[in-house]
Amino acid sequence: MAKTEIVADLHAHTTASDGEWAPEALVDAAAAAGLKVLALTDHDTVAGVARAAQRGRERGVEIVPGCELTAYHRNIELHILAFFVDTAKDSALGALLERVRVQRRARAVEMAARLSQAGYAITEEDIFAAAGDAESIGKPHVAAALVKRGHARSVRDGLLRFLVGNAPGNVPKEQLAPEAVFAAVHGAGGVAVLAHPGIAPHDELIPQLFRLGMDGVEAYHLSHSDVNRRFYAGLARRYEKAVSGGSDFHGPGVKPGVTLGASGVDERTLADLRKRAAVHAERASREAVKSV
Based on the domain organization, do 270 and 127 belong to the same domain?
A: no
Average pLDDT, the chain: 94
Residue 169, in any domain of the structure: no
Q: What is the pLDDT of residues 69-118, one digit of tens each?
A: 999 999 899 999 999 999 999 998 999 999 999 999 999 999 999 999 99
- Cβ atoms of 175 and 74 closer than 8 Å: no
Based on the domain organization, do 247 and 109 belong to the same domain?
A: no
pTM of the model as a whole: 0.90
Based on the domain organization, do 137 and 274 belong to the same domain?
A: no
* Count of the separate structural domains present in the chain: 2
CATH number for position 126:
1.10.150
Q: In what order do the strands lie in the sheet with 242-246?
A: 8-12, 37-40, 62-73, 76-83, 191-194, 216-221, 242-246
Binned at pLDDT 50, 70 and 90, residue 233 comes out as very high
Based on the domain organization, do 91 and 110 belong to the same domain?
A: no
Residue 168: alpha-carbon gap to chain centroid:
26
User: For residue 166, what pLDDT is reported?
Assistant: 92
Residue 168, in any domain of the structure: no
Residue 167, in any domain of the structure: no
Q: Which domain holds residue 178?
A: 3-97+174-291
What mean pLDDT do residues 9-21 have?
A: 95
CATH number for position 216:
3.20.20.140
- Cβ atoms of 137 and 108 closer than 8 Å: yes
Which has the closest alpha carbon to 17: 86, 66, 54?
Answer: 66
Residue 81, in any domain of the structure: yes
Q: Does 2 have pLDDT greater than 70? A: no
Phi/psi of residue 147, nearest 5 degrees = -65, -45
Based on the domain organization, do 8 and 90 belong to the same domain?
A: yes
CA angle 260, 36, 252 (to 5 degrees): 10
